Amino acid sequence: MKEWPLAGKKAWGGRFSTDTHKQVESFTASIDFDRRLAPHDIAGSIAHARMLGKCGILTKAEAEKIVSGLEEIREEIARGEFRFDPGLEDIHMHVERRLTDKIGEVGGKLHTGRSRNDQVALDLRLYVREAITAIRDGIRTLQKVIVSKAEVHLNTLMPGYTHLQRAQPMLLAHHLMAYFEMLQRDRERFAGCLVRVNVLPLGAGALAGTTLPIDPAYVAKLLAFPTVAANSEDAVSDRDFAVEFLSCCAILAMHISRLAEELVLWASAEFGFIELSDAFATGSSIMPQKKNPDVAELARGKTGRVYGNLVSLLTILKGLPLSYNRDLQEDKEPVFDTTDTIRRMLDVLPPMLLAIKFRVDRMQAAAAEGFMNATDLADYLVTKGIAFREAHEIVGRIVRYCVESGERLEALSLARLREFCPVFKPDVSKYITAEACVERRLSPGGTSSRRVSEAIQQAKRTLQRP
Ligand code: ARG
């Protein structure tokens, strides 16, 4: 057996006398998916090499040679010239092997004071950090579209629902701004998650730290990590940050899915509240009349895989003994898949929403139906000194009468109303129009145009902040 040079051998070749079985190689390889970590792996390695040079563990010349080799490899990968080989298992081995091919034996010094265990934890944190920034930007774009639509529809009435039954009239702008609030919580949640992602695990070594005089704080500075992991064993086995990221994504997807469901309902003939732009709808191969809300349906449907990825990672981690176990290699695909899915949702939703035409006539007509002013009619009686419980009872009887006679509350004559309760005065007719019902809701966070336009102004200020 040829003992030198080491090129072509496994990283653990010294201990082994037989080659790895082909099936084992393909079963354990992660290069097909972890190649996506390449830019982060290289960035982490460059910072590590610089630190080794600064601490005198490598000479300055060695560190510089390694850094420029890594920079060349980064270019090769970016240009698509890098050759991936399943026999080399993962992205870390690929980069290191290529480095040794390029700069010779000194390349083997890069892994000094480091293990793939702390290395891969770092790579994933760098990946998630970048994903969070992109997702938070995407959420902001969606919020901006929502605010712009709300501004246009500050005077559009629609039915507000509970139990999917018409409940009280409200402004379309108010309804849209409810989604702004949900998305704002998402954006804040991701920012909170980022604090826990932003902890440097490098320096933990395989699990227990290293005997070499390394300086993790310097690596943290180079990679813009505000903190360094406090416990090396936790550093290599912790994937809480990824679970938290996937949870944030799951909650965001749930919000998107609720919006998507409303768009699906509203695009139906039964609701008829929106008209989708042709550019964001699809047709049927058999029914020529169809215009389907497939984008909204898929946003709703893809939420399933986003939930699945969270449960998948939680299940991988459940009962895993400390510290690193190879099971942890399975953390990457759920994170990648969720990031891709969420980013695609956030790419397509803003332009789709922007192109939606709200059918104001249908919404306003619906807002005037369904006795949604019944609460206000009871409130009217309260203003005339009737106890609310009694007022509720009186209005209940009036509604029952209207249901039987097919009339609307606001169409009843004063004389008819007085048969139910003598305190009704001529001012009642103005009191129970849908507009009046909406505009009286001046309580904080209520649907009156005054409160909603304040909410819109506040939202615009919020969107200025990072
Ligand atoms: N591909 C591995 C992963 O993703 C890298 C770390 C491997 N470490 C080890 N000791 N086998 O987790």
Read off the pLDDT of residues 274-329 as tens digits, 9 standing for 90 and up. Answer: 999 988 888 878 787 878 999 999 999 999 999 999 999 999 999 999 999 999 99
Residue owning the nearest CA to atom 2 of ligand 1: 329
Residues 160, 248 within the same domain: yes
pLDDT at 14: 77
Type and span of the H or E element at 275: strand 274-275
Residue owning the nearest CA to atom 3 of ligand 1: 329
Contact criterion met (CB below 8 Å) for 149 and 178: no
Residue 392: inside a domain: yes
Residue 15: inside a domain: no
Residues 361, 409 within the same domain: no
First to last CA, the chain: 60
Q: For the packed helices 91-103 and 116-152, what is the interaxial angle rounded to 10 degrees?
A: 120
119 lines ligand 1 (CB under 6 A): no
Catalytic residue of the set 17, 21, 163, 285: 163
Residues 378, 283 within the same domain: no
The residue among 376, 395, 433, 453 whose CA lies nearest residue 157 is 433
The residue among 210, 218, 221 whose CA lies nearest residue 54 is 218
Residues 234, 326 within the same domain: yes
Residue 426: inside a domain: yes
pLDDT at 285: 81
Q: Is the pLDDT of residue 412 over 70?
A: yes
CATH of the domain at 148: 1.20.200.10
Q: Is the pLDDT of residue 5 over 50?
A: no
Between the CA of 45 and the centroid of ligand 1 the distance, in Å, is 16
Ligand 1 pocket test, candidate residues 16, 117, 127, 323, most atoms within 8 A of CB = 117
Residue 174 falls in the annotated catalytic set: no
Residue with tokens 């097909």: 32
Between the CA of 188 and the centroid of ligand 1 the distance, in Å, is 32
Residue 213: inside a domain: no
Q: Is the pLDDT of residue 100 over 80?
A: yes
How many residues would you count in the chain? 466
Residue 8: inside a domain: no
The residue among 271, 269, 276, 270 whose CA lies nearest residue 293 is 276
Q: Is the pLDDT of residue 407 over 70?
A: yes
CATH of the domain at 420: 1.10.40.30
Residues 94, 121 within the same domain: no
Residues 247, 280 within the same domain: yes
Mean pLDDT value across residues 17-25 = 89
Between the CA of 119 and the centroid of ligand 1 the distance, in Å, is 9
**180 burial class (0-12, 13-18, 19+ CB within 10 angstroms)?**
buried
Q: Is the pLDDT of residue 13 over 80?
A: no
Residues 310, 449 within the same domain: no
| Percentage above 90 pLDDT, the chain | 90
| Percentage above 70 pLDDT, the chain | 98
User: Degrees (nearest 5) of the Cα angle 430, 435, 441?
Assistant: 100
Residue 440: both structure tokens together: 């009286």
Q: How many domains does the chain have?
A: 3
Domain finish residue from 112, 138, 172 = 112
Residue pLDDT, tens place only, 364-400: 999 998 899 999 999 999 999 999 999 999 999 999 9
Question: Could you write out the three-class secondary structure of 105-171?
Answer: HHHHHCCCCCCHHHHHHHHHHHHHHHHHHHHHHHHHHHHHHHHHHHHHCCCCEEEEEECCEEEEEEE
Mean pLDDT of all residues in the chain? 95
Residue 163 falls in the annotated catalytic set: yes
Q: What is the SS3 assignment for 320?
A: coil
Q: Is the pLDDT of residue 466 over 90?
A: no
pLDDT at 244: 98
Least confident of 5-9, 53-57, 82-86, 207-211: 5-9
Ligand 1 pocket test, candidate residues 326, 330, 331, most atoms within 8 A of CB = 326
Domain finish residue from 112, 141, 166 = 112
Residue 13: inside a domain: no
Catalytic residue of the set 284, 405, 413, 448: 284
Residues 195, 325 within the same domain: yes
Residue 347 amino acid letter: D
Mean pLDDT value across residues 47-54 = 98
Where in the sequence is the domain holding 361, given as residue range(s)?
A: 117-202+227-365
Residues 329, 437 within the same domain: no
pLDDT at 445: 97
pLDDT at 2: 42
pLDDT at 18: 87
pLDDT at 9: 66
Mean pLDDT value across residues 131-136 = 98
Q: Is the pLDDT of residue 250 over 80?
A: yes
Residue 12: inside a domain: no
Residues 314, 243 within the same domain: yes
The pTM of the full predicted model, rounded to 2 decimals, is 0.94
Mean pLDDT value across residues 258-275 = 97
pLDDT at 1: 38
pLDDT at 8: 56
Q: Is the pLDDT of residue 12 over 80?
A: no
For residue 324, the ligand 1 atom closest to its alpha carbon is: 10
Between the CA of 137 and the centroid of ligand 1 the distance, in Å, is 31
326 lines ligand 1 (CB under 6 A): yes
Domain finish residue from 344, 365, 386 = 365
Residues 283, 312 within the same domain: yes
The residue among 112, 126, 6 whose CA lies nearest residue 51 is 112
Residue 167 amino acid letter: A
CATH of the domain at 37: 1.10.275.10
Residue pLDDT, tens place only, 232-246: 999 999 999 999 999
Which pLDDT band, with edges at 50, 70 and 90, does 363 fall under?
Answer: very high
Residues 84, 233 within the same domain: no
328 lines ligand 1 (CB under 6 A): yes
Query: What 8-state DSSP symbol labels residue 282?
Result: B
Residue 207: inside a domain: no
